[in-house]
Structure 1
Amino acid sequence: MQIIKIMWMAFQVLIGYNLVLPLLLLAIYSIRHKRRVTTTAAPVQADYAIIVTAYEWVTAIPEVVSSLLALNYSNYLIYVVADKCDVSGLHFDDERVIILRPEQTLAGNVRSHFYAINHFKRAHERLTIIDSDNLAHPEYLNELNKRFDQGFEAVQGVREAKNLDTTYACLDAARDIYYHFYDGQLLFGAGSSATLAGSGMAFTTKLYVDCLGGRDVSGAGFDKVLQAAILSQNKRIAFSGEAIVYDEKTTHSEQLVKQRARWINTWFKYFKYGFTLLLQSVKNFSLNQFLFGLVLLRPPLFIFLILSVLCMAVNVLVSWTAVALWAAGFGLFVLGFYLSLVNSETDKRIYASLVNIPKFIYFQILSLLKARKANQYSVATRSTQQATTAK
């Protein structure tokens, strides 16, 4: 009986710490963020390869390329990898745009990236990855350079919402704001690394090749493998809140379910890296690896929230003190979520959409039920106007 009680307590701690982790990160960030990172080299216009991946559909490619050609920067080339696409309608007069059409279907982000790397027109110092539904802010590369010039080899920017036309898009954007604030700005500012988001990120070409060269990462989640490989070297992934790409948000429930099923599948597939990094952090006395390992072990938001509700409900029959602790934990989580929104200049439409969170969670539960077969779904997901490479 005593063993069961200990196991029950341990389970609650493992779930409950996720409710307070955001505010713990905020506390560490508040102590450490005033320590400025100095620039180690004079600002230069480093040579970038901008890799745009598309699968099956290229409808949005002209708009994406147009935004990239409008960058306030001169030293870059754009490589559009049009995998299993009809490129007959793609015509660009600018010599900075290179259209690559693989002869064999690649059906994978990493394969598309290395196809571009293997067809580079010159030896680019850095590369950045853009999805086929992204638009880039004119200062995107200049802002990335600020972090690279501080000595970092990997940088994650911000993916702001391109569309807020539906409730689902607003809730999707709210989720992104939460993760950008805690898993980006605060995690990096606390002395660890920003988590990678699949696009709007940049690396030295050498680091990317060293980490993923020779590894055939199939399905979604290449960013999980990449960030684990970077952190295993105890390198830090910098966060840049001003390196902005505009991202198409989920607009329909069916699209939401399929997309989230793939994301949930990747968490179950790759959360094991968290244990590896925690062990390495002890060996290396590394705050970078320790905090990042904790974040990797954290389940998707809706999963640990549901488990927390279940723990609280069980404790109604066991311990009212525990119920009070769980209630306090929920209060701290809500406070943390609110702080992420108020610190991010959140659109009022996003605030208005929050009343629909229960419905959003319901569709994510459906996604969980489909997660095992998630990779059987098409790697392309379509919005109302276009199709984009799945993240």
Structure 2
Amino acid sequence: MMDALFITLQVILAVIAVYQFVFSLFGMYRKKKKAHFPATKSFAVLVAAHNEEQVVGALMENLKNLDYPKELYDVFVICDNCTDGTADIVREHGIQACVRTNTNLRGKGYAIEWMLKELWDMPRQYDAVVMFDADNLAAPNFLSEMNDDLSGGARVIQGYIDTKNPEDSWITAAYGISYWYINRLWQLSRHNVNMANFLGGTGMCFETKMLKEIGWGATSLVEDLEFTMRSVQKGIYPKFNYDAKVFDEKPLTFKASSRQRLRWMQGHFTVARRYFFPLLWQSIKERNLVKFDLALYSVNVYIVLLTFLMTAIMGIDAAVFNGPNIANIYGYLPLGLSFVAVGASILTFMAAMALEKVTFKKVYAYLILFPIYLISWYPITFYAFFTQNNKQWSHTEHTRVVRLEEVVQSKQV
């Protein structure tokens, strides 16, 4: 019985790995031609902030200087349960500070839901809503790119999430490598074949009419993934804009990174439980590959967990019980095939860096530590499984003050 279970799971995991690898190949190229439209769409730019006095000023300067008609966008900063000078700094820049105090419903999802209700009651209504985090920096063309996509019929759009501090430490370098891979070989690959993309928590754009129709309703620890699933259920597929870049600050230490990723995995388990089977059933009933792909993405956290548990069990079997005593289909395959599989996995990250023309010298030096970052996902996911009912939102402190010109200059060195 145990052997049959192990073989079945190994086959399933192998098929999923091949499926994802094949999809990544579609990210090897970029479609150069795209339609451009006159700047006509108006935007409410929302910035989620909780005690961000150290970094919010740089973003305020950045947003005031976007290459888009100033009369077509307004910035609103959600000062959510702040106990520092975030609101004062925002006001000093001549931007609206929308103060929210609710210690019971804490977290970005609740803050966004509150702000949208405030927004709908304002005299001015906007064509779309854009969302950033307080530690971000946006490329000057960000709103122009969103205008093009909205004018072309898109209703939910995810920009390219880059890293503003990839050379600060080995852990920020690891984040950078991961995000270059995600943008190029996950997001762009699906965009190229007209699949749905997933939202990444910042650099997001939503058509106002669509938001009013379906509501926000995403208040889990991973509100971005939750809204992705909700919109795809309703046949609204998020699109990816490779040219609309937003630069995000990554945690400097392994401890801070682990706390952040634990929160992500806890929320991911919640979303998987809520959306996997409904989306899977819809995909089968409608013969819809897009919904199947997102259903598979929603359950990715369980794939990581299963991989970790099966590896641990086989390791214990070998070390303690002089195994193998458990069926292992990989043991019947040529040894060379295992090296090919591992090599292909590593190659995808290297290929993403090459395709993205990464020039950061320190990042290449930190590559030797990148496997530690990858392996650390396994114990984090394992712990998240047993603490997934913890809904307490944890704040990631941001301290890295960087201007956009510094980011651009560092990428050109």
Name the TM tier (shorter chain). Answer: 0.7 to 0.9
Checking the alignment, whether the CA contact within 8 Å between 1:159 and 1:244 is kept in structure 2 is yes
**Structure 1 equivalent of residue 295 of structure 2:** 293
Q: Provide structure 1 residue ranges, at least 5 long, that are not aligned to the other structure.
A: 387-391
Distance 1:332 1:307, change over 3 A: farther
The answer to whether residue 352 in structure 2 is matched with residue 340 in structure 1 is: yes
| C-alpha distance in 2 between matches for 1:34 and 1:145 | 18
| C-alpha distance in 1 between matches for 2:281 and 2:338 | 29
Distance 1:304 1:146, change over 3 A: farther
**Structure 2 equivalent of residue 76 of structure 1:** 73
The answer to whether residue 395 in structure 2 is matched with residue 380 in structure 1 is: yes
Distance 1:15 1:348, change over 3 A: farther
Checking the alignment, whether the CA contact within 8 Å between 1:183 and 1:195 is kept in structure 2 is no
1:300, CA displacement in angstroms?
8.0
1:243, CA displacement in angstroms?
0.6
| C-alpha distance in 1 between matches for 2:27 and 2:375 | 33
Distance 1:202 1:179, change over 3 A: same
**Which stretch shows the higher mean deviation, 116-125 or 168-177?**
116-125
Checking the alignment, whether the CA contact within 8 Å between 2:106 and 2:393 is kept in structure 1 is no
| C-alpha distance in 1 between matches for 2:302 and 2:177 | 14
Among residues 369, 377, 393, which one is paired with 1:356 in the alignment? 369
| C-alpha distance in 2 between matches for 1:55 and 1:94 | 18
Q: Deviations over 1:223-273 (max 9, x none)?
A: 121001111122221111111111001211210111011011122221242
| C-alpha distance in 1 between matches for 2:395 and 2:252 | 15
1:385, CA displacement in angstroms?
4.4
Report the residue type matching 1:185 in the other structure.
Answer: L
TM-score when normalising by structure 2: 0.81
**Which stretch shows the higher mean deviation, 180-189 or 363-372?**
363-372
The answer to whether residue 51 in structure 2 is matched with residue 52 in structure 1 is: no
1:153, CA displacement in angstroms?
0.3
Among residues 172, 187, 194, which one is paired with 1:169 in the alignment? 172
| C-alpha distance in 2 between matches for 1:301 and 1:30 | 25
Q: Deviations over 1:276-303 (max 9, x none)?
A: 2222122222222122222222238965
1:45, CA displacement in angstroms?
2.5
SS at match of 2:118: coil
RMSD value over aligned CA atoms? 3.1
Distance 1:323 1:207, change over 3 A: farther
TM-score when normalising by structure 1: 0.85
1:369, CA displacement in angstroms?
5.2
**Structure 1 equivalent of residue 341 of structure 2:** 329
1:30, CA displacement in angstroms?
7.4
| C-alpha distance in 2 between matches for 1:34 and 1:161 | 23
Checking the alignment, whether the CA contact within 8 Å between 1:253 and 1:363 is kept in structure 2 is no
Q: How many residues align?
A: 378
| C-alpha distance in 2 between matches for 1:300 and 1:189 | 27
| C-alpha distance in 1 between matches for 2:236 and 2:141 | 25
Q: Provide structure 2 residue ranges, at least 5 long, that are not aligned to the other structure.
A: 402-413
Checking the alignment, whether the CA contact within 8 Å between 1:256 and 1:363 is kept in structure 2 is no
The answer to whether residue 193 in structure 2 is matched with residue 187 in structure 1 is: no
Distance 1:301 1:348, change over 3 A: farther
| C-alpha distance in 2 between matches for 1:275 and 1:326 | 32
